[in-house]
Amino acid sequence: GAVVSQHPSRVICKSGTSVKIECRSLDFQATTMFWYRQFPKQSLMLMATSNEGSKATYEQGVEKDKFLINHASLTLSTLTVTSAHPEDSSFYICSARDPQRGDADTQYFGPGTRLTVL
Amino acid sequence: AQTVTQSQPEMSVQEAETVTLSCTYDTSESDYYLFWYKQPPSRQMILVIRQEAYKQQNATENRFSVNFQKAAKSFSLKISDSQLGDAAMYFCAYRISGNTPLVFGKGTRLSVIA
């Protein structure tokens, strides 16, 4: 399948600091990427849709000023958690699809980033 | 709004046996896609199988097959000859066509007993 990477895989930060998570499509171009959040033993919850060259679309209840999304190129979307607090500790996953592939309807996922805020 | 329901929080199966995971969904769309994803302890989401709603034939991928009942809005996953490596969380997901996100069920945790 299409390859999506995330960096870092794990990050620990102090409360009040900002953390940037990168999502890259390695072998294809993605005009749209999606950011999900997953709490322990729960399902994936969509946070926002990242659109290349335009503003992200946030789901209801997700603070856009706290979770900044930038999709500056066709292969890179970044999620910045600003002024992180312990309740932001979670597993963050991005996904994208390759519209040029035969399975263009399929979303492929990055390996995820575990964020721990102390 | 579209919803996906997985009614079995946990399931277990003996190694080499067959198990079926249930999934139902609610939508008013006629053109959509259905997926089963596997999430092992590494938490990497892995595509297991996909089904286009316009296809009547059930999708099959090696030991994995689905029973897609469009009228009933049901999309179950059958795992044959279960292996220890099949132990994971399984998520049923739905999306409509275009640049749209997936809607996930709550997941079913599958244990495989040796």
Go through chain B and tell me how many residues it has: 114
Q: What is the pLDDT of residues A33-87, one digit of tens each?
A: 999 999 988 999 999 999 888 899 999 999 999 999 999 899 999 999 999 999 9
Residue of chain B nearest A3, judged by CA positions: B46
Residue A47 with chain B: CB contacts under 8 Å: none
The answer on pLDDT for B22 being more than 80 is yes
Q: What is the pLDDT of residues B25-37, one digit of tens each?
A: 999 998 899 999 9
Res A84: pLDDT: 97
The answer on pLDDT for B97 being more than 90 is no
Res A110: pLDDT: 96
Q: What's the whole-number mean pLDDT along residues B79-100?
A: 94
Cα torsion for B81, B83, B88, B89, to the nearest 10°? 0
Q: What is the pLDDT of residues B39-69, one digit of tens each?
A: 999 999 999 999 999 998 999 999 999 999 9
Res A79: pLDDT: 97
Report the alpha-carbon distance of residue B40 to residue B103 in Å, rounded.
19
Residue of chain A nearest B89, judged by CA positions: A41
A1, A43, A108 ranked by CB distance to B104: nearest: A43
Res B49: pLDDT: 96
Q: Are A20 and A93 in contact (CB under 8 A)?
A: no
The β-bridge partners of B11 are B110
pLDDT band at B1 (very low <50, low <70, confident <90, very high): confident
Q: What contacts A96, CB < 8 A, 6 or more positions away? A: A2, A4, A23, A25, A28, A30, A32, A33, A34, A77, A107, A108
Instruction: Specify the higher pLDDT residue, B74 or B31.
Output: B74
Instruction: Specify the higher pLDDT residue, B69 or A107.
Output: B69
Instruction: Specify the higher pLDDT residue, A102 or A21.
Output: A21
The β-bridge partners of B51 are B34
Residue A3 with chain B: CB contacts under 8 Å: none
Res B92: pLDDT: 98
Res A101: pLDDT: 76
Report the alpha-carbon distance of residue B21 to residue B108 in Å, rounded.
7
Res A100: pLDDT: 79
Query: Which of residues 52 through 111 in chain A touch B, CB cutoff 8 A?
Result: 91, 93, 95, 97, 103, 105-109, 111
* For chain B, percent of residues with pLDDT exceeding 90: 90
DSSP state, B86?
G
Count the neighbouring beta carbons within 10 Å of the beta carbon of residue B3. Answer: 11
Contact A106 B45 (CB under 8 A): no
Contact B47 A108 (CB under 8 A): yes
Contact B52 A103 (CB under 8 A): no
Contact B33 A44 (CB under 8 A): no
Q: What is the pLDDT of residues A1-21, one digit of tens each?
A: 779 999 999 999 999 999 999
